[in-house]
Structure 1
Amino acid sequence: ADGTVKILPPLHTLINIDDQIIVIAEDDDKIILSKDYLGPTSLPVINHNAVSLSTQMTRRTTKIVERNLLLGWNNTAPLTIKELDTYVARGSELHILTNSDEIKKFINEQLINEVTEQNIFVHSGNLTNKFDLEKLNLFSYNYIILLANEENKEQNLSEDADAECLICLLHLRDIIDKSNNEKKFSIVIEMHDIRNRQLANITYADDFIVSPHLISKYISQLSENKNIKRVYDVLLTADGPEIYFCSASMFVPLETPISYYEILQETLKYECIAIGYRLMKYLHDETRFYGIVLNPDKQEQVIFSKHDKIIILAEQFISSSQDNCTNF
């Protein structure tokens, strides 16, 4: 009632009559209340006193030291770097590739004084030059952040920036394909034109595309409900809940039909909540959204295999084995 947003409230939280519920739905006309929503329910009752964390999972008490790489530069780069500083542990490294003397000067004289957790290293090179990329020992990084490059002010058209991103992405994919290195890194890409997303997906379907298209969707939602800004303010801060892709086997048995409602109940035992799942057999199938299903019907039966994932929202929550959960 006081306007406080709680994405993951304690299970014993009492809902008052003037409180509002945050619902994930395709659209507001897809929200269908149960006819018994104010009356008794036939759903099984969770014994909250019996809920405990499995030894397989623990809460993260400290942030993780990371080694990340930034390719490309535009006017959002300083903000991106300072925001990243709130997510990583002290001693983390951020390596930046640029050929611009002006940008190097800005980094060395100003930006390094505005971050506290990251040590910044600048490398000379061009993101479209495969040789420059190979010199960076790419498999030593946790994340590679590829920004729409506008470091050359004479050529800062969105088409040129997206073209450079795609060329760089092709080089990265080629380096990955030709390497026997088992260690993988995640790539975050910023692109201006949503139409270029399909080209990017062809080169590497598991990358993340960040573009003005997402911003326009955010603004559209705000126009329909201004209160949703408070929800995004919580979700998009370092202290808010994060999205994790966890091995399905951590919550449910494999090769056995199970309802999505049961999946929800299992994730609640770990003080997190499922928002969907990913079937890896559809990893490269665009028609099935690369295997990702968000907010499925609670009665839907799912059969998980070894490499499938359950997508959860959790507050700084990791597995004792880093291979079991990946956060984004």
Structure 2
Amino acid sequence: MTRRATKRIERNLLLGWNKKAPLIAKELDTYVARGSELHILTNSNIITQFIKEQLANELTEQKIFVHCGSLTNKFDLEKLNLFSYDYVILLANEESEQQNLIEEADAECLICLLYLKNIIDKSNKEKTFSIVAEMYDIRNCQLANRTCADDFIVSPNLISKYISQLSENQNIKKVYDVLLTADGPEIYLCLASMFVPLETPISYYQVVQETLKYQCLAIGYRLMKYLHDETRFFGIVLNPDKQEQIIFSQNDKIIILAESFLSSAPHSTQIRRYRLAISGKPC
């Protein structure tokens, strides 16, 4: 199965707007199948005009729908029918990127997340979509952990780490160029039982060898018994020692890099893809 064959029609929602929004829309366009929809919530006439007159013409796979409203207005959020989307992406306010307004931007995101949580809880429906929220201050992610978000992207933190690594080794740019493009490998969370026996000690070296049989590479694992333990990074372990002995249980995950959905692997339908980030938050 090729990467192109894995594309599917999606219906995604973008809440808020900043200078990264057009880039996100274009990147999504490389992942989804033709006929997909991108819905955007904004209360700016200037942004609405830009979307309709320019951005809409630059996308080939997605049709854009603009909804007038504010991400801190619960009534506006309720009108969006959240359960009809695959992904909900929450962006920090661009006007708040100045240092003295960072807290205000994160506060807006937190308010929006709390409203989303309230809407989900009152619906009595199972949450079937993923929420990815951008924040400026990594300290605010601890507060956001109590909301309904699945992933948090702290833009300044990611950028500073990228620059630090690049300054130490310029060749690492080639790695990021592959990982961060639609044509590169994806990060998946797969049931450990797809590759290794359960309730039996196994070294991480053996885990890597088993995943290589399916043309993918293990980069870590997640133990679900620590799902709510923040001190254990919610069960996520990346790049462990190869000699480490692990006992996997039912629903534990192996984190892999792969080019496709592993059509040759057993129980491949149970693979769960995290396109935008690996969550540090229980999901």
- State if a TM-score over 0.5 links the two structures: yes
Residue 326 in structure 1 maps to residue 270 in structure 2 = no
Deviations along 1:39-79, one digit per CA (max 9) or x if unpaired, are xxxxxxxxxxxxxxxxxxx5552412111100010111111
Aligned-partner Cα distance in 2 for 1:322–1:104: 39
Residue 109 of structure 1 corresponds to 53
From 241, 244, 247, the counterpart of 2:188 = 244
**Matched position secondary structure for 1:312:** strand
CA distance in 2, matches of 1:197, 1:100: 27
For residues 98-117 of structure 1, give each alpha carbon's deviation from its aligned partner in whole angstroms, at most 9, with x where no partner exists.
11111111111111001111
Judging changes above 3 Å, is the alpha-carbon distance between structure 1 residues 174 and 321 closer, same or farther for their aligned structure 2 residues? farther
* Contact 2:261 2:271 survives alignment (8 Å): no
Aligned to 2:158: 214
Task: Provide the rounded CA distance (Å) in 2 between the counterparts of 1:153 and 1:280.
Answer: 36
Q: 1:260 aligns with which of 189, 192, 204?
A: 204
1:132-167 superposed Cα distances (whole Å, 9 cap, x missing partner): 21221112211111000237999x932221111111
Counterparts of residues 192-203 of structure 1 (less than 5 Å): 192-203=136-147
How has the CA–CA distance of structure 1 residues 66 and 322 changed in structure 2, closer, same or farther, with 3 Å as cutoff? farther
Among residues 108, 111, 115, which one is paired with 1:167 in the alignment? 111
Alpha-carbon RMSD: 2.2
Distance in 2 (CA, whole Å) between partners of 1:137 and 1:69 is 10
Task: Name the residue aligned to 1:54.
Answer: none
Match of residue 125 from structure 1:
69
3-state secondary structure, aligned to 1:203: coil
In the TM superposition, 1:265-276 aligns within 5 A as 265-276=209-220
Map 1:138-177 onto structure 2 (within 5 A): 138-150=82-94, 157-177=101-121
Which residue number in structure 2 is paired with residue 27 of structure 1?
none
- What is the CA-CA distance between 1:223 and the residue it aligns to? 0.7
Which one has a bigger Cα radius of gyration?
1
Partner-residue secondary structure (3-state), 1:258? strand
Q: Residue deviations 1:169-225, cap 9 Å, x none?
A: 111222233333234211111111222121112324732223211110000001111
The separation in 2 between residues aligned to 1:149 and 1:267, in whole angstroms, is 41
Matched, 1:312 2:265: no
- Specify which of 59, 64, 68 is matched with residue 12 of structure 2: 68
In structure 1, distance between residues paired with 2:97 and 2:142 = 27
> 1:280 aligned to 2:224?
yes
Counterpart of 1:78 (choices 22, 26, 42) is 22
Q: Is the 8 A contact 1:59 1:318 kept in 2?
A: no
Q: Which runs of 5+ in 2 are unaligned?
A: 276-283
Q: 1:59 to 1:83 in 2, by over 3 A?
A: closer
* Cα 1:311–1:256 shift into 2, 3 Å: same
Q: Describe the SS at the equivalent of 2:255.
A: strand
Secondary structure at the counterpart of residue 317 of structure 1: coil
- The count of aligned residue pairs is 270
TM value normalised by structure 2 = 0.88
Return the alpha-carbon distance in structure 2 between the equivalents of residues 253 and 181 of structure 1: 34
Partner SS state of residue 136, structure 2: coil
- 2:124 maps to amino acid: N
- Establish whether residue 235 from structure 1 lines up as the match of residue 182 from structure 2: no
Query: What CA deviation, in whole Å up to 9, does each residue of 1:9-31 have, x standing for no partner?
Result: xxxxxxxxxxxxxxxxxxxxxxx
Give the structure with the larger helix fraction: 2
Does the 8 Å contact 1:188/1:210 carry over to 2?
Answer: no
Q: Using the alignment, how far apart are the partners of 1:234 and 1:274 within structure 2?
A: 17
User: Does the 8 Å contact 2:92/2:134 carry over to 1?
Assistant: yes
TM-score, with normalisation over the residues of structure 1?
A: 0.77
Identical amino acids, percent of aligned pairs: 78
2:40 equivalent in structure 1: 96
Opposite residue 146 of structure 1, the aligned amino acid is L
